[in-house]
Amino acid sequence: MFRRLKSVFSNFVERVASIAFSKEKLLGELEELKLELLSNDVALEVAEDISSKLNKAIEDNVVKSREKLVEYLKETILGYFREAGSIEFDKAVRSERPFKIVFLGVNGVGKTTTIAKIAYYLKEKGLKPLMVAADTFRAGAQEQLKIHGDRIGVPVFTGRYGVSPASVAFDSIAYAKSRGFDVVLIDTAGRMHTDVDLVEELRKVVKVVKPHMKILVVDALTGNDAIEQARFFNEKVGVDAVVIAKVDAYEQGGVPVSIVYAIKKPILFIGVGQDYKDLKLFDPIEYLERILPA
């Protein structure tokens, strides 16, 4: 109803704003924005990329007001997400049978919990998932997944501690095929990307499983290291999609931006709590509203 009036008004505001905002003032604003991004854990490299793009826009007179600056910022970040593309998870998991997914990530980010959540999600959608405890290293890892399985009523394929994860994963695929499972979710031990042997072990798992999807799990509270983690796993093992866990602890964290910037892979889900239903499809727009200044 008042749309016309509103646009007249906002145009006026903008005109006034563009008179009041000199280039210098805008560049000052840009510095502020950059600090704000850094304070929200957008990695330094990414914040610098964004800020140099905005800088150019100001110099080229494309951006003339604070509103425009924020808008342009939003566009720039959305651009990263667009470049990363998207995957329709529900459709993807039905494209093959069994659909095999391997989960990767550094220690303690939330891989095992995320698998249980995804298994629960798939079960709710009427699919038959199998969880595979191919973490034969960390104390309690087998028990952890088994307990999750009992609680959500999803079978768990276990292995003995100390045996090679690749052999557990390999056996689980044969098992899943013979029992008619729809989706196989393979848990792996957390590992530092700096550990050559462990990364080699992971590559072996991938080699024998030939997964349809490799999902990297990243902790929402991660700072600048998010980029290192993502790049490394993407280069050495390959990453198709990402889940950000523990978003309930940090809703406005910049990790999603850093990740899509670094590896141009879509974010499928976010973990928002320790319960099985605490898994949400990721929506870049909703997310941007959380991290950007109004």
Ligand X SMILES: Nc1nc2c(ncn2[C@@H]2O[C@H](COP(=O)(O)OP(=O)(O)OP(=O)(O)O)[C@@H](O)[C@H]2O)c(=O)[nH]1
Restricting to residues 91-110, name those near ligand X by CB under 6 A. 105, 107-110
Pattern of binders to another protein over 92-131, x per CB under 8 A?
--------------xxxxx---------------------
Contacted entry of ligand X, another protein, Mg ion, none for residue 238, CB cut-off 5 to 8 Å set by kind: none
Distance CA 203, CA 197 (A): 10
Task: Rule CB under 8 A: choose which of 192, 196, 275, 283 binds another protein.
Answer: 192
Task: Establish whether 234 is an annotated binding residue.
Answer: no
Question: In angstroms, what is the minimal distance from the CB of 12 to ligand X?
Answer: 45
Site for another protein in 220-279 (CB under 8 A): 221-226, 228-229, 232, 246, 248-250, 253-255, 274
For position 44 contacting another protein by CB under 8 A, the verdict is yes
CB of 190 to Mg ion, least distance (A): 6
Q: Please, what is the angle between helix 23-39 and helix 44-59, to 10°? A: 160
CA distance 282 to 53: 26
Per the annotation, does 236 bind a ligand?
A: no
* 149 annotated binding-site participant: no
Please identify, among the stretches 12-20, 32-40, 172-180, 260-268, the one whose residues bind another protein according to the rule CB under 8 A. 32-40
Q: Record the tokens describing residue 74, joined without a space.
A: 């939003």
Pure H helices in 65-140: 66-84, 89-92, 111-124
* Binding partner of residue 272 among Mg ion, another protein, ligand X, none, CB cut-off 5 to 8 Å per kind: ligand X
- Give the residue among 95, 176, 84 at the shortest CA–CA distance from 129: 176
Q: How far is the CB of 223 from another protein (least distance, A)?
A: 2
- For the bound state, the minimum distance from the C-beta of residue 141 to another protein, rounded and expressed in Å, comes to 7
Enumerate residues 6+ apart whose C-beta is below 8 A from 146. 133, 156, 158
From the list ligand X, another protein, Mg ion, none, which binds 250 (C-beta under 5 to 8 Å, kind-based)? another protein
Q: Cβ of 95: how many Cβ atoms within 10 Å?
A: 9
What is d(CA 58, CA 187) in angstroms, rounded to the nearest whole number? 47
Burial class of 133 by CB neighbour count within 10 A (0 to 12, 13 to 18, 19+): buried
Contact, 76 vs 54, CB < 8 A? yes
Interaction partner, residue 271 (ligand X, another protein, Mg ion, none; CB < 5-8 Å by kind)? ligand X
Rounded to the nearest 10°, the torsion over CA 53, 58, 64, 69 is 30
Binds 183, which of ligand X, Mg ion, another protein, none (CB < 5 to 8 A, cut-off by type)? none
Single out the residue of 29, 41, 135, 240 in contact with ligand X (rule: CB under 6 A).
135
CA nearest to 175, candidates 107, 248, 226, 100: 100
**Other Cβ atoms within 10 Å of 75 Cβ, number:** 13
Q: Is 111 annotated as a binding residue?
A: yes
Q: How far is the CB of 245 from ligand X (least distance, A)?
A: 4
Q: Is 189 annotated as a binding residue?
A: yes
Feature table: binding site: 105-112, 187-191
Residues making contact with ligand X (CB under 6 A): 105, 107-113, 135, 138, 141, 189-190, 192, 245-246, 248-249, 271-274, 278
